[in-house]
Amino acid sequence: MIDALPGTVYLVGAGPGDPDLLTVKAQRLLRQCGAVVYDSLVPQELLELTSKSCEHHFIGKRRGHHSVSQSKINSILVKMAYHHTCVVRLKGGDPFLFGRGAEEAAHLNRLQVPVEVVPGVTAGIAVPAYLGIPVTHRLAGSSVTFVTGHEGVDKRRPTVNWRALALASEGLVIYMGVHNVEHIANELIEGGLDPSTPTVVIQQGTIIGQRYAKAPLSKLVEQIKKIGFVSPAIIMIGGAINFQVKSCAPEPAKVTMPIPF
């Protein structure tokens, strides 16, 4: 390791795909950073904001390869911090929402590498909004829960209590839920959620290629299988879906992803 003080690592939210959803602060940091470390949900257009001399490190999953381990990512970040005064760790959506941002921040902190988080627009709000769907509505309850559907794939995570959520939250926004949707839908219905509750599945929101389908909860699994939804997709469940205002939905953006979906 170089004998010098480390630079600062900024954990930056890239937003959910449309480059126009990048924050002003994120844009400024991308322009000035000496290295950017990014994953698969970050469009090429954001990397083009960086200077010619900026080092680019892609740590997303490539087809046919395992994803880069968290410890490898941590060591790249530390190494970059000792080579540059400003390093951007660019993550899809918001870094602190299902983004392992806090794990990376804690690691850098332990090694006395300065770190700062830059919040981003999360997919769970923006992806439904790009169809004119609000995640809450005054006439459709007073709560919404952001929840991962990825449980069960990685057994080290605590299991989500879907039955309890069925009645505790009037709206659910499920990240990474497509592969586990049968279990989720069954558990929610077992927990007392009305099978006629509206649901929507949205794949590749905010960008061209966006696909979506609405169905009552009882038909959600069938709908996902029929259309063949794949990641990245958001599943939203709750009465707020009925308050969609299609005419306010922005046009999806044309972007290039590091690994095409």
Binding ligand SAM (rule: CB under 6 A), the pick from 22, 33, 41, 118 is 41
Which is catalytic among the residues 176, 214, 236, 257?
176
Q: Is 206 in the site for ligand SAM (CB under 6 A)?
A: yes
Q: Which residue has the tokens 């879907």?
A: 162
Give the angle subtended at the CA of 111 by the CAs of 106 and 112, to the nearest 5°: 90
Find the length of the chain. Answer: 261
CA separation for the pair 22, 46 (Å, rounded): 8
Is 91 labeled as catalytic in the residue annotation? no
Site for ligand SAM in 42-71 (CB under 6 A): none
Q: Is 122 in the site for ligand SAM (CB under 6 A)?
A: yes
Closest CB to ligand SAM among residues 6, 43? 43
Closest CB to ligand SAM among residues 123, 165? 123
CA separation for the pair 92, 217 (Å, rounded): 28
Q: Is 173 in the site for ligand SAM (CB under 6 A)?
A: no
Q: Which residues pair with 214 in a beta bridge?
A: 200
State the nearest-atom distance from the C-beta of 172 to ligand SAM, in Å: 13
Q: Can you read off the two tokens belonging to residue 185?
A: 């839908």
Which is catalytic among the residues 18, 39, 80, 257?
39
Is 61 labeled as catalytic in the residue annotation? yes
According to DSSP, residue 128 is labeled: H
Helices and strands counted in the chain (H then E): 8, 10
Secondary structure of 202-230 in the HEC alphabet? EECCCECCCEEEEEEHHHHHHHHHHHCCC
Is 246 labeled as catalytic in the residue annotation? no
Please choose, out of 78-86, 102-110, 137-145, 198-206, the segment that lies near ligand SAM by the rule CB under 6 A. Answer: 198-206
Q: Is 234 in the site for ligand SAM (CB under 6 A)?
A: yes
Q: Using CB under 6 A as the criterion, which residues of the chain lie in contact with ligand SAM when the complex forms?
A: 16-17, 41, 91-94, 97-99, 122-123, 127, 175-176, 202, 204-206, 231-234
Known catalytic residues are 39, 61, 176
